[in-house]
Amino acid sequence: MEENPNDARYSLTDSAKMFYVRENNPTSLVPVVLMLTHPVLMAPWHHLHECVLQDGNAFEKAHGKDLWAYEKDDPAVNDVFNNSMSTLTVLGMGQILSYYDSFKEVNTLVDVGRGKGMTLVHIVKAYAISSSQP
C-alpha cells in the first residue's frame, strides 16, 4: 500500500503525554491550558495597556468586577481557575517541601485560603500535621 503524503498522522511524544494527557495524571498541564485559554480569563489581557497607562485592575476593566466576585457568580469559571491552581500546586509543592522543612515543628495548620486546599494537603501528607479547613 502506497503512503499518501496528505494522510500524515501526528501524536504526542512520551514526554508531551506526561504533561498533556489528563487521565490519572496529577502532573497534567491540561487544567492550566484550559485556564490560560478560557475566554473569560483571557479577556483581561486586552485591557492590560489601560492598566499600564491609567492604573487599575485588568479583570475589572474586562468584566466590571474582580475575579473573586466573578467566580462567585460563575461556578464554571471558578472550577477552571481552581483546577489550574491545584495543578500548579501539585507541580510545585514537592520542590518547596524538599527545601523548606520548618513545617516539621507545626502541630496544627489551618487553611484560610480559597480553592481546594491542595497546598494544605501536601504539607499535611509530608509532615502528618493535624489539619483544619474553615
Within a 10 A sphere around the Cβ of 19, how many other Cβ atoms? 15
Q: Tell me what pLDDT residue 39 has.
A: 97
Q: What is the pLDDT along the chain (134 residues), one digit of tens a residue?
A: 567 767 767 888 888 887 788 777 777 899 999 999 999 999 999 999 999 999 899 999 999 999 999 999 999 999 999 999 988 888 888 889 888 888 888 888 888 777 788 888 888 888 876 555 55
Within a 10 A sphere around the Cβ of 6, how many other Cβ atoms? 5
How far apart are alpha carbons 27 and 122 in whole angstroms? 14
Residue 57: helix, strand or coil by DSSP? coil
